[in-house]
């Protein structure tokens, strides 16, 4: 008998995912259907196509998740769903489905903030994480430094005033002619390049606050590419490495400053950009040397997935923080708990 078994659903952007996870954050299945092929020719996510694709794939994905876990709907104790933030049409598909299922099975419904999901993805593989901790949340839409005192008490120290880190990677990826999203491709190109080839600006690094800005850096990258015309292979590697290095440097030094200022000993990396190899190795090296506890999810759990929604939902399940069938999706950016 699995305890506190949650069926979690994630449809906030362009991945349809369902997972089964118990109260110990053990994952029995985490099925993800990517829409990459659908959006490829448009160079970014087309919201209307994304919602239609979720409608088409969600039920088969839930069935696959149950089958993989060798469980049935009767085994589920609660249904969790990503309710905000994200693309409104995409969110609505997941929320409507979760509400319908919770109603028909007479099981509690749990609304999860997608950003919290990214943070709590860390608990899937590290069960012993202790509060308080600092989280660096870096995804396609968010860049935030947040102190978590508990699963529901947190303080946002800073966030991006314009583009998110992932957005900067993706926009430069597009200019380089890379498939969407560009982040992982720039990461791969960077591994063969010299990160010191070009010194790109390090936006807001010297500012006393913990806010970020990436739109100026993106413009600097764009102007560099415009000025150089076409790059040969070696120059492309160097450019990717230098551009990535500028993003990592800013994220790294601001995060270290926050750890020190607030005397925190544990750091969690969260969100798609936490899969970046330079970001991981830079933090790993520093945290090892200076005795900080560092956690980041394995790649499967870094980018959008339902298991992370289930992990965040488990905290709410324990405190019986359930949503009603009045629950509505919200596209508003940020960490508001519904």
Residues near Zn ion, by CB under 5 A: 139, 304
Which position among 144, 163, 187, 211 is part of the footprint of ligand KG4 (CB under 6 A)? Answer: 187
CB-nearer residue toward ligand KG4: 170 or 211: 170
- Contact criterion met (CB below 8 Å) for 287 and 294: yes
Residues 265-294 that bind ligand KG4 (CB under 6 A): 271-273, 275-276
Q: Hey, what's the torsion of the CAs at 172, 177, 179, 183, to 10 degrees?
A: -20
Which SS3 state, helix, strand or coil, does residue 103 take?
A: helix
Q: Distance between CA 252 and CA 310 in Å, rounded?
A: 29
Which position among 89, 108, 184, 221 is part of the footprint of ligand KG4 (CB under 6 A)? Answer: 184
Token pair, residue 143, equals: 């860049």
Q: CA 205, 235, 143, 259 torsion: positive or negative? A: negative
Q: Does position 14 bind ligand KG4 by CB under 6 A?
A: no
| Among ligand KG4, Zn ion, none, partner that 246 touches (CB below 5 to 8 angstroms by kind) | none
Provide the β-strand partners of residue 212.
160
| Among ligand KG4, Zn ion, none, partner that 141 touches (CB below 5 to 8 angstroms by kind) | ligand KG4
Exposed e or buried b per residue across 104-141, where buried means at least 16 C-beta atoms within 10 angstroms of its C-beta: ebebbbbbbbbbbbbbbbbbbbeeeeeebbbbbbbbbb
As measured in angstroms, the least distance from the Cβ of 139 to ligand KG4 is 3
φ, ψ for residue 300, nearest 5 deg: -55, -35
Q: Distance between CA 243 and CA 132 in Å, rounded?
A: 32
Q: Read off the DSSP letter of residue 220.
A: H
| Among Zn ion, ligand KG4, none, partner that 195 touches (CB below 5 to 8 angstroms by kind) | none
Task: With CB under 6 A as the rule, give the number of residues binding ligand KG4.
Answer: 20
| Among Zn ion, ligand KG4, none, partner that 101 touches (CB below 5 to 8 angstroms by kind) | none
Q: Does position 183 bind ligand KG4 by CB under 6 A?
A: yes
Q: Does position 297 bind ligand KG4 by CB under 6 A?
A: no
Which position among 304, 311, 316, 317 is part of the footprint of ligand KG4 (CB under 6 A)? Answer: 304
Question: Would you tell me which residues interact with ligand KG4 (CB under 6 A)?
Answer: 13, 118, 139-141, 166, 169-170, 181-184, 187, 271-273, 275-276, 303-304
């Amino acid at each position: 008998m699995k305890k506190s078994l949650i069926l979690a659903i994630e449809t906030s952007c362009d991945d349809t995912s369902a997972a089964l996870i118990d109260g110990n954050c053990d994952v029995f299945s985490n099925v993800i259907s990517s829409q990459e092929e659908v959006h490829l020719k448009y160079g970014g996510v087309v919201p209307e196509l994304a919602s239609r694709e979720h409608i088409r794939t969600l039920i088969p994905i839930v069935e696959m998740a149950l089958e993989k876990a060798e469980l049935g709907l009767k085994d589920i104790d609660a249904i969790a769903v990503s309710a905000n933030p994200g693309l409104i049409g995409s969110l609505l598909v997941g929320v409507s489905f979760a509400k319908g299922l919770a109603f028909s099975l007479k099981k509690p419904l749990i609304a999860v903030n997608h950003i919290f999901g990214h943070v709590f993805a860390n608990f899937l593989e590290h069960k012993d994480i202790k509060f308080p901790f600092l989280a660096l949340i870096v995804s396609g839409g968010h860049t935030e430094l947040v102190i978590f005192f508990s699963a529901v008490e947190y303080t946002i120290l800073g966030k991006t005033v314009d583009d998110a880190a992932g957005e900067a990677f993706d926009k430069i990826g597009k200019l380089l002619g890379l498939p969407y999203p560009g982040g992982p491709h720039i990461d791969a190109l960077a591994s063969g390049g010299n990160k010191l080839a070009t010194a790109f600006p390090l936006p807001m690094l010297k500012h006393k606050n913990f806010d970020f800005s990436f739109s100026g850096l993106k413009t600097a990258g764009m102007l560099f590419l415009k000025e150089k015309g076409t790059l040969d292979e070696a120059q492309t590697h160097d450019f990717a490495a230098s551009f990535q290095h500028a993003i990592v440097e800013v994220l790294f030094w601001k995060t270290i400053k926050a750890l020190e200022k607030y005397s925190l000993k544990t750091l969690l990396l969260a969100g798609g950009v936490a899969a970046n190899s330079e970001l991981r190795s830079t933090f790993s090296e520093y945290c090892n040397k200076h005795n900080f506890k560092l956690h980041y999810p394995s790649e499967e759990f870094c980018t959008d997935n339902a298991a992370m929604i289930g992990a965040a939902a488990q905290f709410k399940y324990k405190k019986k923080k359930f949503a009603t069938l009045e629950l509505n999706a919200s596209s508003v950016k940020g960490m508001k708990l519904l």
